[in-house]
């Protein structure tokens, strides 16, 4: 009797803990010059127990790789398609191709646009977002997918508290979009759809040099905000609860809120480094694992980390850090130890296996070459067409000497171009070497084999580069 009761208690505890902890999700972006094969990434997700992904479109190779995995997917419609979705038949065509077309993919949400009301978009998507949202939900419902919810991931810049009273309870939606946001929130709420918000303590710190550093993390000990007796010891909670207040003021008190993006970059600016990223992830994962929630929303939170892998083709307008958000490097290596369950059992996540690299060849600067006066323009060319963002941050690469920096820039371009010999010339300033050019703690990467490039190889196109070599001889 006693042991049977014990067993029941154990069973109940298991069920409760399984039901009360939301599994962590990840954002899977694909703005890379050399994306890892989607199947390899899906294997990484499985190996690390990641059961939810958020996408930025509905790329067919990615969707196919997710089929029959059970992984829960938030698929997306990019901002530049929002206007198109304003016509109902186009929305239906989208659902037909990208939902019906992937019956074996566990699609749970459709993200209609991505942060469309971002201040820096100057209102470009103000007119088109809500009609697109309504059309997509209507199409989903009519085509028999009413369990799939359409939503609009928003950046936390859609709401704020007044500067002279910076507490969550004083917060509301931005005045230029206030009524629109209230209408969207009410629409989502009435359809049982979640509000999706992206919250970036890193950006608070990046944009405001006098921001109290500790407040961006989760350890407490720094500044705290007292909101009528509620104590906020980190900016994430304060930010999240500002949204809860804004919704409350719109008459919505209990809708589901998903944190669509949370993360910390590892390069490209002062606070973008591995130590700070680890500190942020340790704190946030521990918080999530404990189901503490925020003062206004205690309990489990539904959160997607940003991001799974570095993306070397992302725009650097927001900052050089943009290409360094991954918890994995471009080639699927974990950057630092972490525990996705938030229990503090830090270890390196399981990386990609079976990655195919290009040859062990680097392109480096030849300081003895003629044409030294061409260095600035060559460097400019290499950096505009390659990726020099690691030179601009606080990582070891940023501390390279002049020659090292030039070599780094040349090599990144050469790798980006699949080691095509013609891309390691720079008016004779560069040469190819098989000696590992990495130095002073700065990794000079070798790119992975480009699947798109391989397709060209099958067509025999890279032969051209060999013809070029032969002609030069
Ligand atoms: C389905 O999604 C893909 C990828 O995002 C997009 O290119 C395509 O236009 C979508 N289909 C329709 C009919 O809108
Ligand atoms: C928004 O306006 C600013 C200032 O006028 C301009 O620099 C920027 O390019 C604009 N952005 C977009 C997306 O139109
Ligand atoms: C080059 O050296 C770096 C630093 O020692 C190392 O991490 C990297 O794996 C090496 N690259 C190759 C292709 O051997």
The one catalytic residue in 115, 163, 322, 374 is 115
Topology classification of domain 2-324: TIM Barrel (3.20.20)
Q: Check if 207 is active-site.
A: no
Which amino acid residue places its CA nearest to atom 5 of ligand 3? Answer: 438
- Return the pLDDT at 15: 43
The structure's pTM equals 0.91
- Return the pLDDT at 21: 59
394 and 270 Cβ atoms separated by less than 8 Å: yes
Please identify every stretch of the chain with a pLDDT value under 70, giving residue numbers as ranges.
Answer: 1-21, 452-473
Q: Is 94 in the pocket of ligand 1 (CB under 6 A)?
A: yes
CA–CA dist 288, 299 (Å, integer): 9
**Helix (DSSP H) and strand (DSSP E) numbers for the chain:** 13, 15
- Return the pLDDT at 220: 86
Q: Is 119 in the pocket of ligand 2 (CB under 6 A)?
A: no
Q: Check if 115 is active-site.
A: yes
Tens of pLDDT along 306-320?
A: 999 999 999 999 999
What are the residue ranges spanned by the domains of the chain? 2-324, 362-470
Neighbours of 21 (CB within 10 A): 16
CA–CA dist 360, 295 (Å, integer): 53
- Secondary-structure breakdown of the chain: helix, strand, coil percentages, each rounded to the nearest 5: 40, 15, 45
């Amino acid at each position: 009797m006693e042991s049977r009761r014990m067993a029941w208690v154990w069973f109940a505890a298991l069920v409760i803990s399984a039901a009360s902890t939301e599994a962590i999700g990840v954002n899977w972006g694909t703005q890379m010059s050399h994306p890892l094969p989607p199947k390899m990434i899906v294997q990484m997700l499985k190996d690390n127990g990641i059961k939810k992904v958020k996408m930025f479109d509905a790329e067919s190779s990615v969707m196919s790789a997710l089929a029959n995995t059970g992984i829960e997917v938030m698929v997306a419609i990019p901002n530049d398609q929002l206007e198109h979705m304003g016509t109902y038949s186009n929305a239906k065509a989208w659902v037909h191709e990208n939902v019906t077309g992937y019956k074996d993919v566990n699609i749970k949400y459709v993200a209609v646009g991505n942060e469309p009301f971002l201040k820096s978009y100057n209102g470009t998507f103000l007119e088109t977002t809500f009609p697109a949202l309504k059309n997509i939900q209507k199409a989903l419902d009519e085509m028999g997918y009413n369990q799939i919810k359409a939503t609009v991931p928003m950046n936390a810049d859609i709401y704020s508290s007044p500067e002279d009273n910076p507490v969550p309870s004083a917060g509301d939606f931005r005045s230029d979009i206030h009524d629109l946001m209230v209408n969207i929130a009410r629409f989502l709420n009435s359809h049982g759809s979640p509000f999706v918000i992206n919250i970036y303590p890193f950006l608070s710190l990046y944009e405001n040099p006098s921001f109290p550093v500790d407040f961006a993390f989760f350890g407490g000990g720094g500044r705290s905000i007292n909101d009528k007796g509620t104590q906020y010891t980190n900016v994430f909670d304060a930010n999240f609860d500002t949204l809860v207040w804004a919704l409350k003021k719109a008459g919505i008190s209990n809708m589901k809120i998903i944190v669509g993006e949370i993360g910390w970059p590892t390069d490209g600016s002062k606070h973008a480094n591995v130590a700070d990223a680890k500190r942020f992830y340790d704190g946030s994962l521990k918080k999530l694992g404990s189901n503490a929630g925020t003062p206004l929303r205690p309990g489990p939170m539904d959160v997607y980390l940003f991001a799974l892998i570095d993306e070397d083709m992302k725009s650097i307008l927001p900052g050089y850090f943009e290409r360094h958000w991954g918890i994995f490097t471009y080639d699927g290596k974990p950057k630092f130890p972490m525990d996705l369950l938030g229990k503090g059992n830090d270890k390196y996540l399981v990386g990609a296996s079976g990655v195919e690299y290009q040859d062990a060849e680097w392109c480096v600067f030849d300081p003895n070459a003629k044409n030294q006066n061409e260095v600035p323009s060559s460097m400019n060319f290499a950096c505009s067409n390659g990726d020099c963002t690691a030179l601009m941050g606080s990582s070891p690469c940023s501390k390279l000497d002049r020659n090292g920096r030039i070599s780094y820039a040349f090599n990144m371009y050469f790798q980006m171009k699949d080691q095509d010999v013609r891309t390691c010339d720079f008016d004779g300033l560069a040469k190819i070497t098989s000696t590992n050019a990495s130095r002073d703690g700065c990794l000079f990467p070798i790119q992975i084999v480009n699947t798109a490039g391989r397709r060209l190889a099958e067509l025999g196109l890279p032969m051209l580069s060999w013809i070029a070599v032969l002609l030069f001889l």
